[in-house]
Structures are given as structure tokens and as C-alpha cells.
Amino acid sequence: MTIRIRRMTLKDIDAIFAIERVSFSDPWSKRAFMSELVERGFNFSIVAEAPKGRKVIGYCLFWIIEDDETHITNIAINPEFRRQGIGKLLIDEVIQRSRDKGIPSVTLEVRESNTAAREFYDRLGFAEAGRRKGYYRKPVEDAIILRMMFEEDSSE
């Protein structure tokens, strides 16, 4: 299956919101996605498209701050398309764009109980870098901060 990764546009919002709603207990609003798209600057958004019908099957939003830090703010894959390497494709794209800018690491937060996502990030090479107490709502829960360093020395 050839998946295409491209920049997100406002036309994608309905498809993305449908995936968001079934993926999270406290989903982002459509407005939140729109503001990430409209406020150009340090926010970047990409989608994965299925080859047939060009249907949006996943997305990832991230910030590149001052060209020295990349922070992933949201990623989800349509449940029917999970475990097919599409999440990894999106993260690889974020990593590539970061490396192209000479950025040394990517960070993100994950819900402590989100074992699927934690397995996913672990497999990709992210390591625990801290905790944010009570960061999430519905239900209130801690976030684990994860970081991937691109340099050889990733022992931190």
C-alpha cells in the first residue's frame, strides 16, 4: 500500500475530526485544528492519504520552535488502518524535517495509561524525559514526557 504524506489543509478538517473523536477521550475541537492551520508560523500539520480515493487515514501536528526544538502536539491513525506502519511514516516525516533543520530532538506528551501509544513510541526509540502532573482532563491524568535524540549519544 503506497501511502502519501502531504500538508494538511482546511478541507481535511472533517475527516481528521472523525478520527480524532474515536481516538481520544478528550478530543481537540475542530476550531483547535483550524487555528493550528491558520496561524502559520511554528505550527506544521501533515496527513497520510490512502492510495484509493485519497482518503485521509492519519495526521500529525507539530511545532518547530526557533529551529531548535520539535514538539509533536497530536497524532492519530484511523483505527481500521492501525498497525500498518502509518504512524511510523508520519513520525519519520517529522524526524526528517527536523533533521533537515539541524534540530537535535523531538519531544511529546503521552497519557500515562495510553499503553498502545507508549509501546509505539518505545519501539520508535523515544525515551522518558519527565512527567507533567494532572496534565490531561477526562479523566485527569499525568502526562509522560518523551524525547527522541537524533545524535549518537541517546543515553540520557
Residues catalogued as catalytic: 109, 121
The radius of gyration computed from the CA coordinates of the chain, to the nearest angstrom, equals 15
Nearer to ligand COA, 67 or 119 (CB): 119
Count residues binding ligand COA (CB under 6 A): 18
Residue 16 CB contacts under 8 Å (≥ 6 apart), including other chains: 8, 33, 47, 56, 59
Based on the shown chain and the rule CB under 6 A, indicate whether residue 65 belongs to the binding site for ligand COA.
no
Figure out which of the listed residues 8, 16, 76, 95 binds ligand COA, where binding follows CB under 6 A: 76
Closest Cα partner for 141 from 108, 117, 109? 109
C-alpha cell belonging to residue 88? 511510523
Q: Which of 82, 97, 129, 135 binds ligand COA (CB under 6 A)?
A: 82
Question: How many whole angstroms separate alpha carbon 2 and alpha carbon 45?
Answer: 20
Q: Given candidates 116, 128, 132, 154, which one binds ligand COA under the rule CB under 6 A?
A: 116
Contact call for residue 85 and ligand COA (CB under 6 A): yes
The whole-angstrom separation of Cα 97 and Cα 103 is 9
Site residues (CB under 6 A) for ligand COA?
23, 75-77, 82-88, 110, 114, 116-117, 119-120, 123
